[in-house]
Amino acid sequence: MSETYLKDALSTLRESGVRITPQRHAILEYLISSETHPTADEIYRALEDDFPNMSVATVYNNLKVFLNTGLVKELTYGDASSRFDFASHDHYHIICDDCGKIVDFHHPGLQEVEHLASHMTGFKVNSHRLEVYGTCPECANMKRQ
């Protein structure tokens, strides 16, 4: 599945006139395969051995390109660092209050909320965002010990 996402994402970049550099390819591949919603610094650290001449600024600049083409979403949940999520499909996030871990989940019923909101207000709904907060299983286990 991630190969298809990568192929489609690279096509989107080419269609947008964006040149595919080895660094861009690696950052995109990392985001697609990551389930952790990494920060730019985490992406940099994960790839620095393969690209010793790449800087954190290069990662940020490429993330900006991906944001502008709609391939990546920037997640800001109150802490100082933005996290990045490959925009493969509509989904929501549950965030651990203790460690900051973010996990994806999908609930198709929430699309009905957009339709209802549009119907009740006359707005043309462009998007919505749902965040659920709690304690992840790992942090809950640590608290019990």
**Annotation: binding site for Fe cation:** 128
Residue at token pair 């993330």: 63
Going by the annotation, the residues of the binding site are 96, 99, 128, 136, 139
Cα 88 to Cα 145: distance, rounded to the nearest angstrom: 38
Q: Are the C-beta atoms of residues 105 and 92 closer than 8 Å to each other?
A: yes
Going by the annotation, the residues of the binding site for Zn(2+) are 96, 99, 136, 139
User: What is the CB-side half-sphere exposure of residue 50 using CA atoms within 13 A?
Assistant: 12
Indicate the SS3 state at residue 100. coil
